[in-house]
Each structure stands twice: as structure tokens, then as C-alpha cells.
A = this chain, B = another copy of it.
Amino acid sequence: MKGLVLTSQGKIEIVKLEKPQLDQSQVLVKLKAAALNKRDQFIREGKYPDIQMNAVLGSDGAGEVVEVGSKSHEKLIGKTVVINPNINWGDNPDVQSRNYSILGMPTHGTFAEYVAVGVDRVHEAPEHLSLEEAAALPLGGLTAYRACFRHGKIKANDNVLISGFGGGVAQFAFQFALAANANVYVTSGKKEKLNVALKMGASGGYNYKSKDWYKNLWQTKGGFDVVIDSAGGDQINNFLKIMRPGGRVVFYGATNGLPTTLDLYRMFWNQLSLQGSTMGNDEEFAEMLTFVEKKKIKPVIDSVRPFDEIVSAFDDIASSTKSGKLIIKF
């Protein structure tokens, strides 16, 4: 079979590989669609811990079960499924175990014709979605779901700010918060992305490149209950200025690096919290799929390309001009 691997830092190539051998606990999925995440490009660039060469990349995928490792799983053959990319989350719902990893480096991932995964990793895809759309969900949807609901505790009528609208996780967080009937606001560095958000139902949009974008937000909007962020840097302190007392800043990344201070005074007097988050546990993955199905949420797709053009998709995700998932079709 063909699969995409990292052959040296910065270099990804489609190579010929053996079709995976299954153990008894596994099933073989013939991929119909896969999706890119920033994680994949970070691995390509060497900006990810514990990089191993020659593993098939890709965390997001959907396809058809074509083989099972144990007779007792035979009824799965022919099912179309979406794959939970968690490997060994462990028993503690609050946090991943030390053996935790994500599908697609070190374990062979979804950018290949076939992938072997644990039988408990495959879920029926939500009925209202095409397989291309379902393939867009796993990593981004799971990360957004945990950030929004476990940590952010977003509920109806909350004022929620999603920073960096357009990124995969931010887009899901935006859709999930809207579906929970919150008042959802966004920030972006690009006017076109703000317009997209407003069309999709945002109550307001702010360009974080304009000085003092956060000023007066406190008065005009009454402050935010929840901010979902992945940029970090000194904007963190601006968020603290526009939170309602008791509010929560949840972040799942820090692409702008670390802040040069943190306003602890404001945090304790207003009982604010800053909560780090990454991925989500297996129950949250199942809940996320149910929520997406119930609320008829459709992932925003930027483009669908054949597997042979996957390297161009990596180049595009690096440039961050895209809003919406980049999908690979097999």
C-alpha cells in the first residue's frame, strides 16, 4: 500500500509500505478520507516532541472496516467508521496517562491506504455527514469539545470568545459553542475570516492586530464567561481584562509563545482561571460524535484533494490562510 511518511526533517514522501498485520484486538480500515491537522505540519517541521522517522502520519480518518483480527468482531466488516485517534488515554478522565500517544507518529496513521487500529477506536460516522466531513472531526472536534465543555463549561447564554477563528480546533469550538446556544464572539487577524464568522452566526468579531481591540469590550458586551484560545503570548492578559468575574480562559496551544507577565491580582480578585487542555478522553470522543449528530453540525471544509496531492495540503496548512479543514480523498 501507499503511505505518507517523514523521511527527514522537513521532508514528507509517499512511499510503498506493507499492508498492516492485525493482532486480535485490531481491525483494518480502508481509508476513504483523511484530514490534516497543524500537528502533522509541526511534525514535518520537527516542532513536536519525540519525532520518529518513517511512521505514517495522519490522525484523522474515516473509511470502511475490511478485516478484523478476531472472529468475534466479524460483524464490523463492511461498516463505515470514523477513527478515535487516542492511544492509551488511560483510566483518569482528567488527564492522559504517561503511555498516551496520538495516532499518526509513532503509530502508523491515516495518510495511507489502510490503517490498523484497536477495535474500540472505530465509531459509526454521524449519519448526516459524508465520509469526507466525518474525517474532519476527530482531532479538532475532540480538542474543541473538551475545551468547550469539560473545562469551559459553556452553557446557553454564556458570552464566549473564540480566538484565532479559522484554525481547525477554533472552528469546531465556534460551532460547538453556537450549538450550545452561547453568544459567540471571535477574533482573527484577517477581516475575511471575521466576515465568515459573522455569516455563520457570530455575535461579533474583532481583529486582534488592531491596538486595544479588547478595550471597551467589557462595557459593551458585559464581559466574557469563557475564552477559548490557542495563541497564548501577551494576549492572555488582555483576555483577563474582559472576563466576567468567575470566568475561564481555556487554552490548548501557545503558538505566539509565552506571556511576559500574568495579572494575578485580577485573577484572584475576580476568581478567574487559566486552564490548559489537550485532546480529550475516549468518553468525550463518543460524546462529541453524539453532539455533532444531534446538533447536525457540519465541519467546514476548505478543499478535498486526492492523496497524491497531499504534500500541497501540508504546504497550505503551514500558511494558515485557510479556514476550514483540508481533506484527502483516497
Residues of A within 8 A of B (CB): 92, 94-96, 151, 232, 236, 245-246, 251-254, 258-278
Contacts and interface: CB of A to CB of B under 8 A. Distances in A.
A266 B232 CA distance: 12
Contacts of A277: 268, 271
B278 A269 contact: yes
Nearest to A93: B246
Contact of A275 (B254, B261, B273): B273
A258 B264 contact: yes
A274 B278 contact: no
Contacts of A232: 264
A275 B277 CA distance: 14
| Most chain B beta carbons < 10 A, residue from A253, A258, A263, A272 | A258
26 contacts: A95-B246, A95-B270, A95-B271, A236-B262, A236-B264, A251-B264, A251-B267, A251-B268, A254-B265, A254-B268, A258-B261, A258-B262, A258-B263, A258-B264, A259-B261, A259-B264, A261-B261, A267-B274, A267-B275, A267-B276, A268-B278, A271-B275, A271-B276, A272-B275, A272-B276, A273-B274
A218 to B, nearest CB: 13
Contacts of A267: 251, 274-276
A260 to B, nearest CB: 7
A130 to B, nearest CB: 32
A293 to B, nearest CB: 27
A173 to B, nearest CB: 14
| Most chain B beta carbons < 10 A, residue from A251, A266, A275, A276 | A276
Contacts of A95: 245-246, 270-271
A139 to B, nearest CB: 14
Contacts of A274: 262, 267, 273-275
A278 to B, nearest CB: 5
How many identical subunits does the complex contain? 2
A66 to B, nearest CB: 35
B278 A246 contact: no
Contact of A262 (B96, B246, B252, B262): B262
A253 B268 CA distance: 7
A291 to B, nearest CB: 21
Contacts of A251: 264, 267-268
Contact of A246 (B94, B259, B272): B94
A231 to B, nearest CB: 10
Nearest to A264: B254
Given A151-B273, A268-B276, 16 more contacts: A95-B245, A232-B264, A236-B262, A253-B268, A254-B265, A259-B261, A260-B260, A261-B261, A266-B276, A267-B276, A268-B278, A270-B276, A271-B275, A271-B277, A273-B276, A274-B274
A187 B94 CA distance: 27
B273 A278 contact: no
Nearest to A272: B276
